[in-house]
Amino acid sequence: MEDIDDILDALCAAAEQRQLEPAWIPRLTDPDDEPLLQLAVEGQVPCIVTRNTRHLQPARAFGIEVLTPAEFLAKLRGNT
């Protein structure tokens, strides 16, 4: 558990606070997921890692891959 805390601490230390663009047009069925998609698009990330892949499929239209944690780890290990 301590290793996970160390990783999360490192991620938070490297993170940048960002104001999302107010003109964003919603694209998801769940409004609670919308900021995640918007941040991913504005941040030009290559993928979103989530257990909620079904609701985030519209991210693919922006060229963002949607992966489960297991799929992401397999990709990191070169198993895909």
Classify residue 8: in a domain, yes or no. no
Question: Domain range holding 49?
Answer: 31-80
Interval 22-45 mean pLDDT: 95
**Within a domain: 24:** no
- Picking from 79, 53, 80, the residue whose alpha carbon sits closest to that of residue 67 is 53
Beta strands in 1-80 (DSSP E): 47-49, 65-67
CA-based nearest residue to 37, from 61, 14, 13, 16 = 61
For 18-28, the pLDDT digits (tens) are 899 999 999 99
Per residue in 45-66, pLDDT (tens digit) is 999 999 999 999 999 999 999 9
Q: Find the mean pLDDT for residues 2-24.
A: 90
Total domain count, the chain: 1
Domain contains 50: yes
**Residue 66 within a domain:** yes
